[in-house]
Structure 1
Amino acid sequence: MNKYFTYDPRLHIHLPHLLEEWPAYPSRIQEAILLEWEKIRGTIPDRISEIEEDIEELQASLGQEENFEESCRLNSEISERASRINDLWIWYRTMPEIQ
């Protein structure tokens, strides 16, 4: 299945990496890809929870921070993690069908 997925270091999950249009794959390959995607997809809520915990820690640090530059850095990290959560939810909702 590594042929059809690639690791995304930003999101810390494997994502589909299809070189052809979905309908071009035989149904048995589509089924195998979907099975693997369901396994990966099932890990996304846990990954989101981990990132949310990171954000909470960063927000706590931000609440105590008095240095402006450090506050900006913390805000940037929070924003980046929130962006990851958004991307993970998009991937979570991605569900191709066998054709």
Structure 2
Amino acid sequence: MFGSTPAEKTAAANTVETELEPNTKKAAAGAKEHTSAAARTLDGWETASGLKKVTETWDRQVQMLMGRLSAEKASLRGASGMFVQNDVHTGDGLRALGPKSKLDGL
């Protein structure tokens, strides 16, 4: 038995979509905005160029994290569908094998 049901996988994918992705995007944008503002305030200082570099690195890392969240969401939804399809296919194959069992209909 797997550790979660298709419904639990769907719920987890929905949480990624409705909570994790938007909240991560919002937090990332806020951090970038504050860092960029600090860099503008310190324009002409070495610190400003360091902050600009940090912002570029931050952007790449956020992009990677958002991609990872999206991939996890797709994997959860895909796995849920695959398990259901596998169960249906297995059931169809067993029904096609032969005579009815006394357990049919129970």
Using structure 2 for the length normalisation, give the TM-score: 0.53
Number of aligned residue pairs: 73
The structure richer in helix per residue is 2
Counterparts of 1:66-81 in structure 2, within 5 Å, are 66-68=44-46, 70-81=47-58
Flag structure 2 segments of 5+ consecutive residues without an equivalent.
83-106
Which 4+ runs in 1 deviate beyond 6 A?
none
TM-score, normalization by structure 1: 0.56
| Bigger CA radius of gyration | 2
Match for residue 64 of structure 2 among 76, 82, 87: 87
Q: Is the 1:62–1:74 Cα contact (8 Å) retained in structure 2?
A: yes
Q: Which residue of 2 aligns with 1:57?
A: 34
Structure 1 residue 87: Cα displacement: 1.7
Structure number with higher strand proportion:
1
Q: Is the 8 A contact 1:48 1:88 kept in 2?
A: no
Question: Which has the higher relative contact order, 1 or 2, with Cα contacts under 8 A spaced 6 or more apart?
Answer: 2
Identical counterparts, % of pairs: 7
The aligned residue for residue 15 of structure 2 is 39
Q: Distance in 2 between matches of 1:29 and 1:56?
A: 39
- Shift of the 74–30 alpha-carbon distance from structure 1 to 2, 3 Å rule, reads farther
**Structure 1: segments with no counterpart, 5+ residues:** 1-24
